Amino acid sequence: MVKAMEAEDVFIPEEFDEEQIMIAETCRDFLDSEVMPNIDRLESHEEGLPRSLLDKAGELGLLGISIPEEYEGFGQSFVTSMLASEVTGSAYSFAVIFSCHTGIGTLPILFYGNEQQKKKYLPKLATGEYIGAYCLTEPNAGSDANAGKTQATLSEDGKYYILNGQKMWITNSGFADVFIVYAKIDNDRVLSAFIVERDYPGIKFNPEEKKMGIKGSSTRQIFFENCKVPVENLLWSRGKGFRIALDILHMGRIKLGGNVIGAAKMAIEQSVNYANDRKQFGQLISSFGSIKYKLAEQVIRTFANESAVYRASRNVDEYIAAKENEMTREEATVKAFEEYAIEAAILKVYGSEALDYVVDEGVQIHGGMGYSSEMPIERGYRDSRINRIFEGTNEINRLITIDTIIKRGRKHEYDLLGKGQEVIDSLKELNGCGCCEEDYYENKKATVENLKKAGLMVMKAAFDEFSRKLVNEQEILNNLSNIIMDIYVAESVLLRVKKKEDTGQDVMTHKDILDVLLYDTASLVRKEAIDAINSFTEGSQQELFAKGVEYFTCVKPVNVKEARRRIADMLIEENKYCF
């Protein structure tokens, strides 16, 4: 919100190297040959099928992309692992199975396990000999994860922790070998984490849950009844489980932002393929303006999410590289997830809601056929809905975004309140429109900077009004969070498009994407800001802040109809996602 970024400082998807592209192609080939032909069998919970697919993925090395070579993995960068997440994200239920194993089912051991634990479990997780799962949620502990009641007590001989409790919504629970289980030792207020193997005595599994979507994902309740876990399977140390859970969720959120890119691109291709085949009133429906609007908007939101995801992913890699001289790579990676917790929450929310838009309009483009299970868009629609609940609900992630920013501002990591006060002090002098630059990129950059000023102004005003009681004003916090998210994504698109042009690439249609997105973002920021200030100001103060909002959200006019038509026409001509 404070620092201005330059295009040369960000990573864009057009910069993937040959090795990354090869890994992505390996993932696509695997999905095309092994997963997609078997989706119906997967959703019927055919015994042994998920495990056999993961075995084949392990043989190709796809399960060990993030695991160091010393533990039988590939040791690839975070950007590379995100690219693999994007590609596998198109695989419906299998995407959930794969992501659970390679992410939350494996990484707690990589990041927090001792050397003995790593040597015992990571090679088998990397090859698929073991499959991982993650046991955090309980019937009365969802978003409030630390409210979990599962207990661990030390056995009389000191050799085991005895687990008692219940977990629910556990992905891969039908066939996983290793579970990361969270429980409170004795009367501890915070969780500890344990590595629990499936064949330990005292574990019982309920039948498969019936779900709206991701039907091929195994989800069961798990009961621990005097389950004996060796003391050496305590992960990290006593009372550190909640910290592990938070850090792993940061990683899961940004990974989800990558997953939905693949799902969205596939849904867009399904939409345009159908629109280019279906005729009504004697012509292809892809020729209708209303359909072009939907297709273009699908592209805009997907391109925007992709731009933000890989910008943040490279930031994670850069942070890790900068810290490796001070700590181990695993420790640096955990610190990176903590550093970019705000971006992770943004990407989770924006990406999941972008995909929901894409699949919803995909069904609409298909008309009645979109409601039929004969068409794959129906499955995509059902499978998408969980993403707004996974890895912390979008409501929780909106609050995380603004709460973390405010806390860092109080610690003076950013001068949020000082910059906000500077904006407020300037309000009486404002006249006309805040963005008048003629140069294309200077105009866009000024627009983004002005939107940031609108956000800083409202944030400072809200803090002045409520101080520490602002935490109780969730509606206003949501306004602020939405402003931050929309600006971050819009800035990411601006930086990507400019970098593409700086490197000699054709960006004519990409400028249309940027024009429409930034035009719409200004309107969204204007409404969120006005809604917020109307919630706690009145009279002359309200008028002054409203004047500031209008000034800072002023943009040059854009012919959004023609811009969207050009975006749609490119998609229609190629008959596939080509941006």
Mean pLDDT of 305-331: 95
pLDDT digits (tens, 9 = 90+) for 211-237: 999 999 999 999 999 999 999 999 999
Instruction: Please provide residue 505's backbone torsions phi and psi, each rounded to the nearest 5 degrees.
Output: -90, 155
Extents of the domains making up the chain: 7-131, 134-238, 242-396, 412-574
Distance (Å, rounded) from C-alpha 250 to C-alpha 269? 30
Mean pLDDT of 264-278: 98
Range scoring the smallest mean pLDDT among 343-347, 402-406, 432-436, 508-512: 432-436
Bridge partner list, 219: 171
Bridge partner list, 511: none
Instruction: Please provide residue 78's backbone torsions phi and psi, each rounded to the nearest 5 degrees.
Output: -65, -35
Confidence class of residue 144 from pLDDT cuts 50, 70 and 90?
Answer: confident
447 in Cβ contact with 522 (< 8 Å): yes
Q: Which of 361, 391, 491, 528 is catalytic?
A: 391
pLDDT digits (tens, 9 = 90+) for 513-549: 999 999 999 999 999 999 999 999 999 999 999 999 9
Structure confidence at residue 507 (pLDDT): 96
pLDDT digits (tens, 9 = 90+) for 448-482: 999 999 999 999 999 999 998 999 999 999 999 99
Burial of residue 120 (number of CB atoms within 10 Å: 0-12, 13-18, 19+): middle
Structure confidence at residue 364 (pLDDT): 98
Strands in 209-302 per DSSP E: 219-230, 234-235, 279-280, 283-284
pLDDT digits (tens, 9 = 90+) for 335-372: 999 999 999 999 999 999 999 999 999 999 999 999 99
137 in Cβ contact with 169 (< 8 Å): yes
- pLDDT averaged over every residue in the chain: 95
pLDDT at 411 over 90: no
CATH number of the 412-574 domain: 1.20.140.10
Domain 7-131 is classified in which CATH homologous superfamily?
Acyl-CoA dehydrogenase/oxidase, N-terminal domain (1.10.540.10)
CA 532 to chain centre: 26
Distance (Å, rounded) from C-alpha 209 to C-alpha 427? 56
Confidence class of residue 412 from pLDDT cuts 50, 70 and 90?
Answer: confident
Q: Of 472, 454, 467, 469, whose CA–CA distance to 533 is shortest?
A: 454
CATH, domain 242-396, list 3.30.465.10, 3.20.20.70, 3.40.50.300, 1.20.140.10? 1.20.140.10
pLDDT at 1 over 70: no
Structure confidence at residue 302 (pLDDT): 98
What distances in angstroms separate CA 422 from CA 212, 426, 460, one per listed residue? 50, 6, 10
Is residue 391 annotated as part of the catalytic site, yes or no? yes
- Which pair of structure tokens corresponds to residue 57? 């993925």
Q: CATH topology of 134-238 equal to that of 242-396?
A: no
Which carries the bigger pLDDT value, residue 183 or residue 145? 183
152 in Cβ contact with 162 (< 8 Å): yes
Task: Spell out the residues 6+ positions from residue 316 whose beta carbon is closer than 8 angstroms to its own.
Answer: 78, 254, 333, 336, 337, 340
pLDDT at 4 over 80: no
Distance (Å, rounded) from C-alpha 382 to C-alpha 211? 10
Confidence class of residue 432 from pLDDT cuts 50, 70 and 90?
Answer: confident
Mean pLDDT of 376-402: 96
pLDDT at 3 over 80: no
pLDDT at 2 over 80: no
Using a pLDDT cut of 90, give the percent of the chain over it: 92
Which CATH class, in words, describes the domain spanning 134-238?
Answer: mainly beta
Q: Of 426, 441, 435, 399, whose CA–CA distance to 522 is shortest?
A: 435
Q: Of 235, 274, 254, whose CA–CA distance to 316 is shortest?
A: 254
pLDDT at 260 over 90: yes
Residue 241: HSE in the Cβ half-sphere, 13 Å Cα cutoff? 29
Distance (Å, rounded) from C-alpha 532 to C-alpha 551? 16
Distance (Å, rounded) from C-alpha 329 to C-alpha 479? 37
Using a pLDDT cut of 70, give the percent of the chain over it: 99
